[in-house]
Chain A
Amino acid sequence: MTALVEVAQARVVYGTGEASVEALKGVSLEVRKGEILMLMGPSGSGKTTLLQVAGALLSPTAGTVRLAGERIDGLTQEDLGRRRLRHFGFVFQHYNLFPALTAAENVAIALDLKGVPAARRRAAAHEALDRVGLGDRAAHFPSQLSGGQKQRVAIARALAGEPDAILADEPTAALDSASGKRVVDLLHDLAKAQGRAVVLVTHDPRIVEAADRIVHIEDGRIREAAEHPLPAEA
């Protein structure tokens, strides 16, 4: 497996002087194609920061980031945006759906961003909703959906653009355990079926069994990397 993302010796310092916080203290991380990688660790340990660095949202103060072999640390925000659009789909703790748009339209936004023509957008959006089991909710607005359903719409949105990786920050934190389980199973199945990487920040011990690999972070450093073997697939 080749690395999709390679973070090397990344340091991230927030603020300056007395008030500065070193959120990452020289972290190296690889995200490989098709794997499910979980980032775990105590609150404030730097998980979100690392996800942002790996996800081309934040350039590290020091160290390098490669995305599909290309150095991206230090690129402008517009250039980073283009890379995110091409390679990543994001899922957030609070779903971040557009309340004024229906489920299908929410998914279609991601396609519109990628320049997919209107004629194909509709079909692709409905297909993505079918895949997350919400084909019958396409015309519903977010306010008419449960938390778990909203998060599945968000996953459909992240997947619709056919990204190389889905990056998710605590996607199950706001969900009850059954919905959380369903969301993670969905991410797992879709990733495996379509060969996409999933990087997932979580506190939730109930979902770790879905991981191929777990990275533990503590106080801005990686403590250990545990390979979590999955049952061999046919």
Chain B
Amino acid sequence: MSLSPGLRDLLAWRNLAHDKVRFFVTLIGIVFSVTLMAVQTGLLTGFVTTISKIVDKTDADLWLVGRGVRSIDLPANIPERRRFQVLGVDGVAAADPFMHVFAQMKRPDGGAESVAVVGFDLATGRGGPWALAEGDIADLALPDAVVMDRLYKKKLGVERIGQTIEVNGRRARVVGFTDGIRTFTQSPHLFADIKTARYLTGYAEDRLNYVLIETARDADPQAVAARIRALLPDIDVYTKAEFSTRSSMYWLVTTGAGFSLVIASALGLIVGMVVTAQTLYATTMDRLPEYATLRAMGAPGSYLYGVILRQAAIAAVFGFGAGISIAAFIVHGARDGSAAILLPWQLAVGLGLATFAMCAAAAVISIRRVMAIDPVSVFK
């Protein structure tokens, strides 16, 4: 297809524009489909991203986790001795402690909330908060200091730095706010130095949940992982990517969220395809004598279905443009909501391709009909 509009583009456009109501119905179908697909896949992306965000943002090549741990927020309690053992393994450059423990919090006004205390080694900073918007990370060295996200100020009843809250009955003080560190479990993260985290959650001094491992620059992480497994049979070791995926998949599968979001997207695709196929076919049937005329004049089959595919493409362009705009609007509206809807450009491009594929598939029955035209029918 050339870029400057040709006669078939014109014919396709006029055919569509001729019946404005029908074109409108086609667009509604596609817009509905694109919006539904975008929101559902955007939710899915948001879920996956949110669930594994801490893993993805943490500077660790390998995660040492308790045996059978299925997700970052469902940790096991392991002895810190494991960390020292790991430090002796060939190819391990650093091994830092990490905690992720749910706790009960009392808001300044007395209400109760569930939170997740995230403990990391302030000395190395590995596993700490990454988007600090207010306060100073160094203040986490103060006793009882925690950092939380702005998104949850209202939920946790905290308005400003210096306010005190209670975690599992112990006093804690907010020394900073991050921006946009969302929680999937609806229990906001409270980042704290590992010592504070142990104090707030009642963990013993020699216990932790994870060991964050940095491998030596020339070491192969998989090989290092294998050595650790051989040394410590009672723990699991994952690369960052593996643990990220494992965490996301756990929630997507156990909650059924993954399945229902994928099904809803697929339904959007099917509805869009059916509506588009239906209206394209109606337009084609209206124009059958014209296709027969073209056939009689000697037009090759490709010329005829070129017109239909152009109609499908035009509908796809307009439908996708409107649908993705509505989706972007919804995404924007949901940015401070409890569930993130993420629409990265890669997803938008993917949805665009899906829309074109959907419209092309919807053109198939029309194309079959047109290809079956007998050119002598124009003489009837």
User: Chain A contacts of B297 at CB under 8 A?
Assistant: 84-85, 89-90, 109-110, 113
User: Smallest CB-CB separation from A110: which chain B residue?
Assistant: B297
B216 within 8 Å of A (CB atoms): no
A101 touches B4 (CB 8 A): no
B293: which of A83, A92, A105 is its contact (CB, 8 Å)?
A92
Contact B301 A78 (CB under 8 A): yes
- The reply to whether the CB of B314 lies closer than 8 angstroms to some CB of chain A is no
Is the beta-carbon distance between B8 and A112 smaller than 8 angstroms? yes
Which residues, 29 to 74 on A, are CB-close (under 8 Å) to B? 48, 51-52, 57-58
CB–CB A81/B299 < 8 A: yes
Contact status A88-B7, CB under 8 Å: no
CA distance A175 to B303 in the complex (A): 31
Those of B366-380 within 8 Å (CB) of chain A: 375-376, 378-379
Query: A13 contacts the other chain (Cβ, under 8 Å)?
Result: no
Residues of the B chain whose Cβ atoms lie less than 8 Å from the Cβ of A88: 298
Instruction: Pick from A58, A93, A113: contact of B299, CB below 8 A.
Output: A113
- Contact call A81/B295, Cβ cutoff below 8 A: yes
Majority secondary structure of chain B interface residues (helix, strand, loop or mixed): helix
Smallest Cβ-Cβ distance to A154: which chain B residue:
B293
A105 touches B10 (CB 8 A): yes
* B180 in contact (CB, < 8 A): no
Partner of B296, one of A57, A109, A112: A57
Given A48-B379, A81-B298, A96-B378 in contact, is the A112-B7 Cβ separation under 8 Å?
Answer: yes
Residue tally, chain B, CB below 8 Å to A: 26
**Which residues of the other chain, B, contact A57 by a CB distance below 8 angstroms?**
296, 375-376
Does chain A have a CB within 8 A of B290? Answer: yes
Decide: B290 and A52 in contact? CB cutoff 8 A: no
A90, B299: Cβ atoms closer than 8 Å: no
Query: Which residues on A sit within 8 Å (CB–CB) of B289?
Result: 96
The answer to whether residues A98 and B290 also contact, given A48-B379, A81-B300, A85-B297 and a CB cut-off of 8 A, is yes
**CB pair A105 B378 closer than 8 Å:** no
With A118-B4, A118-B6 as given contacts, are A58 and B296 in contact (CB-CB < 8 Å)? no
Residues of B within 8 A of A19 (CB): none
Q: Give the contact stretch, choosing among B11-19, B118-126, B166-174.
A: B11-19
Of residues A52, A84, A96, A108, which shows the largest number of chain B Cβ atoms within 10 Å of its Cβ?
A96
In angstroms, Cα B9 to Cα A118, docked, is 12
**Is B6 touching A112 in the complex (CB atoms < 8 A)?**
yes
In whole Å, how far is A26's beta carbon from the nearest beta carbon of chain B? 20
Alpha-carbon gap, A169 to B380, bound state (A):
10
Nearest CB in chain B to that of A88: its residue = B298
**B285 CB to nearest A CB, Å:** 15
B301 — which chain A residues lie within 8 A by C-beta?
78
Is B294 close to A, CB under 8 A? yes
Instruction: Indicate which residue in B10, B17, B296, B378 contacts A101 across the interface (CB closer than 8 Å).
Output: B10
Q: B11 contacts which of A48, A81, A96, A100 (Cβ < 8 Å)?
A: A100
Contacts of B15 in A (CB 8 A): 100
- Quick one: closest B residue to A89, CB to CB? B297
B8 cross-chain contacts in A, Cβ below 8 A: 112
A52-B295 contact given A96-B289, A100-B15, A100-B18, CB 8 Å threshold: no
Chain B residues near A109 (CB-CB < 8 A): 7, 11, 294, 297
What A residues does B18 contact at CB under 8 A?
A: 99-100
- Whether a CB of chain B sits under 8 angstroms from the CB of A77 is yes
From 36 to 51 in chain B, residues with beta carbon under 8 angstroms from any chain A beta carbon are none
Chain A residues lying within 8 Å of B299, measured Cβ to Cβ, are 81, 85, 113
CB neighbours (8 Å) of B4 from chain A are: 118
A55 CB, min distance to chain B CBs, angstroms: 8
Which residue on chain B has the smallest CB distance to residue A48?
B379
Given the complex, which residues of A lie within 8 Å of B11, measured CB to CB? Answer: 98, 100-101, 109
How far apart are the CA atoms of A84 and B290 in the complex, in Å? 17
Nearest CB of chain A from residue B129's CB, rounded to whole Å: 60
What are 11 A-B pairs at a CB distance below 8 A? A81-B299, A81-B300, A84-B297, A85-B298, A86-B298, A90-B297, A100-B17, A101-B10, A105-B7, A113-B298, A169-B379
Considering the complex of A and B, which 5 residue pairs feature the smallest CB-CB distances, nearest first? Answer: A85-B298, A84-B298, A100-B14, A96-B293, A112-B7
Contacts beyond the supplied A82-B300, A96-B290, A121-B7: 8 A-B pairs with Cβ under 8 Å: A78-B300, A81-B299, A88-B298, A90-B296, A105-B7, A113-B299, A113-B303, A118-B6
